[in-house]
Amino acid sequence: MTTRIDRRFAALKAEGRAALVTFLTAGDPDFETSLAITRALPKAGADVIELGVPFTDPMADGPAIQAAGLRALHAGQTLRKTLEMVRDFRKSDDATPLVLMGYYNPIYIYGVNRFLVDAKAVGVDGLIVVDLPPEEDDELCVPALKSGLNFIRLATPTTDDKRLPAVLNNTSGFVYYVSITGITGSAAPDTVKVANAVARIKRHTKLPVAVGFGVKTAVHARAIAAGADGVVVGSALVEAVKGSLDKDNKATSRTIKTVTDLVAALAEGVRAARRVAAE
Amino acid sequence: MTIQQPNTFRGGPDERGHFGIYGGRFVAETLMPLILDLEKAYTDAKSDPAFQKEMDGYLTHYVGRPSPLYFAERMTQHLRGAKIYFKREELNHTGAHKVNNVLGQLMVARRMGKKRIIAETGAGMHGVATATMCARFGLDCVVYMGAVDVERQKPNVFRMKMLGAEVRPVQSGSKTLKDAMNEALRDWVTNVADTFYCIGTVAGPHPYPMMVRDFQCIIGRETREQLMEAEGRLPDSLIACIGGGSNAMGLFHPFLDDKEIEIYGVEAAGHGLKSGKHAASVAGGRPGVLHGNRTYLLMSDDGQINEAHSISAGLDYPGIGPEHAWLNDVGRVKFLSATDDEAVAAFQLCSKLEGIIPALEPAHALARVLDLAPQKPKDHLMVVNLSGRGDKDLASVADYLGTKGG
């Protein structure tokens, strides 16, 4: 069974370039603006969309994404509304892969089975759940795979060769390589080290490898894209949202354009790192 | 829901860190290899007689154990019921039970070659214990503490700094214990190579709930021996306050299979369970996943964690250790609660009757002793864990009484 994620990465491989994966928090700064931004992302150059599910206690996230989650929660965002947002997005876009990223508790409380049925129905393609390592696969990973969703696992610098097979087992769609030991939005990773790490992971899997955590600029995205199948940009986009808001954290006329301009610049960077299709 | 009664209440956790449906290892991948290393290091240490011998030496000569089991004669006379004993954990070096656990964990950290220790703290007692043992072992120490708690527990902040620790006030979220734990986890994930996270209670990812319990069980083991010596028999009831629940687990666990003993855990009811401003996760929460484990948590219908409220910074946490969650479900421990008002009244009464100023945390347990003890016959032996001393709380209590006009 191929999914939107599989098809997109296969198509980009044929084009000989890496994917730009954009992360934004669903409902930041409010439902309508967030939906409008999400709808504008593919045209601006996003190849895969990650929507963050807001959580009060995001223990793997830095200050930028923590604040975005709180803005969304204050504006009334819930997991149910995030699923509605995906459904609305799918009305105008049936091709762009969309992944929900977050923490387990909101899904657990929504009810795992009900969540999987609803997520599949609205057009979610994959899940990234930060606090579910392979040791807890029975919780959500295995049921998600059974229901036809991709379960995208994080591999990190602390995931050594001995552990990699356990992490890659039950992973589908792509592998998300966390380029640093740290939280989102930290210092930029060393591109040589990242390329080596991606090569190491690729020795263990045929899945595409996307790299994230700390990628902020088009130049940097280009450097990472040269050695990976995808580049994830999150905190920089979330900061762009924040920078466009008024003093009460409300959206302004600049908000959507600020984000899409940055996405376009990042996409240009990623596309400039064109690789040989036969690689 | 009917739950099969186990043959033993002391058999948990299973090899994946579960107590029934609770516990587990809900952490980011970056931390997972380290948690597996820690489990191995702790298992090795536990079976090493030299480790136990060294720990016993520190417990005797540095911590000052055994802590006395004291017959609270005037409180017993006052309540005219059960014979009340205090397990005097507040007499330990650093003034609370916390040091039992910190000593054990830092000895494991040294075995693992870790030079930098991080900790979260609420009331500051775990932070002080960690800063103290780090000073003793020559380790770097960073303590995360909610900005609200930094304000209400100033003496402990000063103590930690005096001991050479760096105290980092946490400004995110509710600025209390839960946020301090988030921030400590963020530090750990960033500095995973050289850093050991010394968790202060029986919560977090496996193996922490088990390991912290094991280090705290000395409280219950001593109580068994001391009461046998004093009364020639085991107690009839045990009672302790529960935030995360390490002092309670330490007292309870060695008695869990003595099924005739009544066991009570007392949560913080803040302004009252109906007010929504409390920290009673069993009474007012439901099972969810936070900070590495599944347990009872205070949360919204959307699975967002609610802010806890308690006058006691040490109980001001929206969760509880996973083994307590299980002991509640199987009915072995009965969970009660006490409000801010009740805790402050018990704080005052204990100070006046016994000449012992308790911390606000065990004052919650004492509040329930005030109504449980009179219901019991005079030969009923009740042990309450006096888990910490109240010097740190004097300003909070004075403020509280001032605003209440008391």
What DSSP string describes chain A? ---HHHHHHHHHHHHT-PEEEEEEETTSS-HHHHHHHHHHHHHHT-SEEEEE---S--TT--HHHHHHHHHHHHTT--HHHHHHHHHHHHTT-SSS-EEEEE-HHHHHHH-HHHHHHHHHHHT--EEEETT--GGGTTTTHHHHHHTT-EEPPEE-TT--TTTHHHHHTT--S-EEEE-SSS-TT-SPPPHHHHHHHHHHHHTT-SS-EEEESS--SHHHHHHHHTTSSEEEE-HHHHHHHHHTS-TTS---TTHHHHHHHHHHHHHHHHHHT---TT-
User: Count of CB contacts below 8 A, A vs B?
Assistant: 116
Residue B399, min C-alpha distance to chain A (Å): 30
3-state class of B153 per DSSP?
A: coil
Is the distance from CB of B229 to CB of B301 less than 8 angstroms? no
Distance CA A194, CA B332 (A): 51
Q: What is the pLDDT of residue A279?
A: 44
Distance CA B153, CA B314 (A): 10
Distance CA B151, CA B316 (A): 14
Q: What is the pLDDT of residue B4?
A: 66
Residue B297, min C-alpha distance to chain A (Å): 10
Q: What is the pLDDT of residue B115?
A: 96
Burial class (CB in 10 A: 0-12, 13-18, 19+), B273: middle
Partner B contacted by A187 (CB < 8 A): no
Q: What is the pLDDT of residue B174?
A: 81
Q: What is the pLDDT of residue B1?
A: 52
- Residues B173-202 have a mean pLDDT of 94
* Domains of chain B from N-terminus onward: 19-59+97-212 (3.40.50.1100), 66-95+217-404 (3.40.50.1100)
Is the distance from CB of B337 to CB of B271 less than 8 angstroms? no
Query: What's the start-to-end Cα distance of chain A, in Å?
Result: 24
Chain B residues whose CB is inside 8 A of the A166 CB are none
- pLDDT of B153 > 80? The answer is yes
- Residues A115-121 have a mean pLDDT of 98
- Residues B180-203 have a mean pLDDT of 96
The closest alpha carbon to B216, from B184, B240, B183, belongs to: B240
Query: Torsions phi, psi of B394, nearest 5?
Result: -60, -40
CA dihedral B68, B73, B74, B76 (to 10 degrees): 110
Task: Provide the token pair at A191.
Answer: 């591109």
Task: Provide the token pair at A215.
Answer: 């990628």
Query: Torsions phi, psi of B276, nearest 5?
Result: 80, -10
| pLDDT tens per residue, range A227-258 | 999 999 999 999 999 999 999 999 999 999 99
- Residues A76-91 have a mean pLDDT of 98
Distance CA B270, CA B249 (A): 22
- Residues B137-148 have a mean pLDDT of 97
**Does B190 contact A163 at a Cβ distance shorter than 8 Å?**
no
Distance CA B288, CA B306 (A): 12
CB < 8 Å from A in window 18-77 of B = 24-34
- pLDDT of A213 > 90? The answer is no
Kindly report the CA angle at A14 between A12 and A20, in degrees rounded to 5? 15
The closest alpha carbon to A68, from A105, A111, A29, A31, belongs to: A29
- Residues A180-200 have a mean pLDDT of 88
Distance CA B70, CA B386 (A): 10
- pLDDT of B406 > 70? The answer is no
Q: What is the pLDDT of residue B156?
A: 93
- Residues A62-66 have a mean pLDDT of 93
Candidate from B160-164, B352-356, B388-392 with smallest mean pLDDT? B388-392
| Of residues A73, A134, A167, nearest to B304 (C-beta) | A73
Q: What is the pLDDT of residue B173?
A: 81
Distance CA B202, CA A112 (A): 27
- Residues B271-290 have a mean pLDDT of 97
Partner B contacted by A170 (CB < 8 A): no
Q: What is the pLDDT of residue A214?
A: 86
Q: What is the pLDDT of residue B204?
A: 97
**pLDDT band at B3, cuts 50/70/90?**
low
Chain A residues whose CB is inside 8 A of the B178 CB are 57
Q: Which residue of B lies nearest to A71 if distances are taken between CA atoms?
A: B173
The closest alpha carbon to A26, from A115, A88, A117, A93, belongs to: A88
Chain B residues whose CB is inside 8 A of the A159 CB are 29, 32-33
* Domains of chain A from N-terminus onward: 4-272 (3.20.20.70)
**pLDDT band at A180, cuts 50/70/90?**
confident
Q: What is the pLDDT of residue A278?
A: 36
Is the distance from CB of A224 to CB of A176 less than 8 angstroms? no
| pLDDT tens per residue, range A2-44 | 899 999 999 999 999 999 999 999 999 999 999 999 999 999 9
**Strand arrangement of the beta sheet that strand B22-26 belongs to:** B18-19, B22-26, B292-297, B286-290
**Does A105 contact B32 at a Cβ distance shorter than 8 Å?**
no
Percent of chain A with pLDDT over 90: 90
Beta strand pairing status for B18-19 and A19-25? Answer: unpaired
- Residues B173-192 have a mean pLDDT of 92
Chain B residues whose CB is inside 8 A of the A66 CB are 172
Partner A contacted by B189 (CB < 8 A): yes
Q: What is the pLDDT of residue A188?
A: 79
The closest alpha carbon to A6, from A112, A126, A91, A162, belongs to: A126
Residue A58, min C-alpha distance to chain B (Å): 8
Task: Provide the token pair at A152.
Answer: 């995208």
Distance CA A224, CA A231 (A): 7
Partner A contacted by B190 (CB < 8 A): yes
**Does B305 contact A167 at a Cβ distance shorter than 8 Å?**
no
The closest alpha carbon to B32, from A136, A217, A43, belongs to: A136
Q: What is the pLDDT of residue B123?
A: 86
Q: What is the pLDDT of residue B41?
A: 98
Partner A contacted by B15 (CB < 8 A): no
Task: Provide the token pair at B31.
Answer: 């931390």
For B157, residues 6+ apart whose C-beta sits below 8 A from its C-beta are B124, B145, B150, B167
Q: Is A61 annotated in the active site? A: yes
**Does A59 contact B32 at a Cβ distance shorter than 8 Å?**
no
- Residues A206-212 have a mean pLDDT of 96
**pLDDT band at B114, cuts 50/70/90?**
very high
**pLDDT band at B134, cuts 50/70/90?**
very high
Element holding B121 (H helix, E strand): strand B116-121
3-state class of B25 per DSSP?
A: strand
Out of A47, A61, A125, A239, the active site residue is A61
Is the distance from CB of A218 to CB of A268 less than 8 angstroms? yes
- Residues A150-164 have a mean pLDDT of 95
- Residues A48-56 have a mean pLDDT of 98
| pLDDT tens per residue, range B21-33 | 999 999 999 999 9
Chain B residues whose CB is inside 8 A of the A64 CB are none
**Does A133 contact B172 at a Cβ distance shorter than 8 Å?**
no
Distance CA B182, CA B173 (A): 10
**Does B292 contact A131 at a Cβ distance shorter than 8 Å?**
yes
Mean pLDDT of chain A: 95
**pLDDT band at B405, cuts 50/70/90?**
low
Q: What is the pLDDT of residue B252?
A: 98
Chain A residues whose CB is inside 8 A of the B288 CB are 105, 108-109
